[in-house]
Amino acid sequence: MLTQMKGLMAAMIFAGVALSAPAHADELDTIKANGKLSIALTGAYPPFSLVNEQNEVVGFDVSIGKEIAKRLGVEPEIVTTAWDGILAGLMAGKYDTIIGSMSITPKRMEVVDFVGPYYSAGRAIFVGADSAVMGMDDLKGKTVGVTLGETHEKWAREQSDMDWTLKTYKGLPELMLELKNGRIDALIIDSIPGRVAITKDKQPIRELDLSDIEGASVGVGMAIRKGNPELAAAMQKALDDMMADGTYEKISVEWVGADIR
């Protein structure tokens, strides 16, 4: 009888704990309790993220992320990581969000939620200024560079009729150097950073006219783990307010030279 009573009491205590335990807490509460928002990006995607001469990670994405954190009432923590593992890192809880120029795709939306889009971009192909390549047909059988893990890599691999050789790199600086030195015939990246590099660094490259290719215009969002509607709403409000009060435009013009929302 005593054993049965002890068992019953234990079951009641367990049930009480279970009944009083809170449901899954939205990560906004944890972020505010910790006083920081950890933000992942590559640091190798100028002008969106790059390391300056003072060894600081700066850029459009960095400034947007810091402003989001400020409006949430917490400190920003910038985390640099390789692009091909950035989603896995988010799922593993290594950081709170990815604000790193990630295109919103149906496949990614299966595993994460997105805030935004916070700007629009598009797929572009760049070649050397003196290249004989004028269109897609001229790229058949050529060597093309892409960033490992980007949607452009996936798209390029799906173009089986192109018979091109793909080389993968960590980011835009490497791609530009490889193109300049003739080790690749073309590179496929988002249009905005490519255009900025041409203008700012006077790169001897040019963009092909490919406005009708798949992915020519896509939304770019901030990724967070699923099941966090309060965090998503708070980040979206911060973004909306930035766009309404002129802060977004100021950041955009500073880093990109235009309002890219």
Would you list the domain boundaries of the chain? 24-120+218-256, 123-207
The sign of the dihedral angle between the CA atoms of 223, 149, 207, 80 is positive
More confident: 202 or 49? 49
Residue 147 burial (10 A CB sphere; 0-12, 13-18, 19+) = buried
Please report the pLDDT score of residue 21 as a whole number: 34
Please report the pLDDT score of residue 216 as a whole number: 66
- Comparing CA positions, the residue from 2, 78, 87 lying closest to residue 40 is 78
Report whether pLDDT(17) > 60: no
What residues have CB less than 8 Å from 20, skipping those under 6 apart?
none
- Comparing CA positions, the residue from 55, 56, 60, 67 lying closest to residue 45 is 60
Of 56-65, 85-94, 167-176, 210-219, which gets the smallest average pLDDT?
A: 210-219
Which CATH fold would you assign to the domain 24-120+218-256?
D-Maltodextrin-Binding Protein; domain 2 (3.40.190)
How many Å apart are CA 146 and CA 166, to the nearest integer? 7
Intrachain domains 24-120+218-256 and 123-207 with the same fold: yes
Which CATH fold would you assign to the domain 123-207?
D-Maltodextrin-Binding Protein; domain 2 (3.40.190)
DSSP class of residue 45 equals: B
